[in-house]
Amino acid sequence: METLTVTELLQRLIRFDTTNPPGRELEAMRWVQGWLEAQGHVPELLARDPERPNLIVRFKGRGEAPPLLVYGHLDVVTTGGQDWSMPPFEGVVKNGFVWGRGALDMKGAVAMYLKAVTEAHAAGELAGDVVLALVSDEEAGGDYGAAWLVDAHPERFEGIRHALGEFGGFSIDIAGKRFYPVMVAEKQISWLELTFSGPAGHGSLIHRGGAMAKLGQALVALDKKLTPVHVTPVVERMFREIAAGLSGAARAGVLAALKPALTDRVLASLGEGGKAFQPLFHNTASPTIVSGGDKINVAPSEVRLQLDGRLLPGFTPDDLVAELKELIPVPFEARVVRHDPGPKEVNWTLYPLLKQTLEEADPEGRAVPLLLSGVTDGRHFARLGIQTYGFTPMKLPSDLKFSGLIHAADERIPVEALEFGVDVLRRFFRNYGRS
Q: Where are the beta strands (DSSP E) in 126-269?
A: 130-135, 162-165, 172-174, 177-186, 188-197, 201-202
pLDDT score of 435 more than 70 = no
**Can you list the pairs that 43-49 forms with residues at least 24 positions away whose Cβ atoms lie under 8 Å?**
46/149, 46/152, 46/153, 46/156, 47/144, 48/143, 48/144, 48/148, 48/152, 49/144
Averaged over 209-235, what is the pLDDT?
97
Of 295, 315, 340, the last residue of a domain is 340
Give the three-state DSSP class for 77.
coil
Please compute the mean of the pLDDT values over residues 300-312 and round it to a whole number: 97
Pairing of strands 284-292, 201-202: unpaired
pLDDT of residue 389 exceeding 60: yes
Residue span of the structural domain in which 412 resides: 6-167+376-431
**Residue 97 domain-assigned?**
yes
Calpha distance 423→308 (Å, rounded): 37
Residue 401 pLDDT grade (very low, low, confident, very high; cuts 50, 70, 90): confident
**Tell me, what's the pLDDT at 405?**
85
pLDDT value for 1: 54
- 202 and 156 inside one domain: no
Within this chain, do residues 293 and 326 fall inside the same structural domain, yes or no? yes
Q: Are residues 194 and 159 in the same domain?
A: no
Between the CA of residue 281 and those of 42, 103, 276, 308, what are the distances in Å? 44, 29, 11, 16
Q: Is residue 383 part of a domain?
A: yes
CATH number of the domain bearing residue 138: 3.40.630.10
Q: Do 198 and 145 belong together in one domain?
A: no
Confidence (pLDDT) at 79:
95
Fill in the amino acid letter for 335.
Answer: R
Does 298 lie in the same domain as 195? yes
Whole-Å CA distances, 305 to 210, 239, 242, 320, 388: 15, 34, 38, 15, 33
Average of pLDDT values for 398-405?
Answer: 80
Largest CA distance in the chain: 79
Verify that 238 and 117 share a domain, yes or no: no
The conformational region for residue 75 under phi > 0 = left, psi -120 to 50 = alpha, else beta, is beta
Position 215 pLDDT exceeds 70? yes
* Residue 123 pLDDT grade (very low, low, confident, very high; cuts 50, 70, 90): very high
96 and 239 fall within a common domain: no
Domain boundary, last residue among 340, 359, 393: 340
Residue 10 belongs to a domain: yes
Same domain, 94 and 136: yes
pLDDT of amino acid 158: 96
* pLDDT tens digits, one per residue of 16-56: 999 999 999 999 999 999 999 999 999 999 999 999 999 99
In a domain, 259, yes or no: yes
For the chain, how many structural domains are there in total?
Answer: 2
Residue 365 lies in a domain: no
Same domain, 143 and 79: yes
Last residue of a domain, one of 313, 340, 367: 340
Q: Which residues pair with 20 in a beta bridge?
A: none
Q: What confidence score (pLDDT) does residue 419 get?
A: 98
Quick one: pLDDT at residue 274?
78
- Domain co-membership, 10 together with 102: yes
Judge if 236 and 327 occupy the same domain.
Answer: yes
**What is the mean pLDDT of the segment spanning 342-358?**
94
Instruction: Tell me the mean pLDDT in the region 86-99.
Output: 97
Does the residue 49 lie in any domain? yes
Under 8 Å between Cβ of 386 and 163: yes
Same domain, 316 and 193: yes
Distance of alpha carbon 29 from alpha carbon 281, whole angstroms: 38
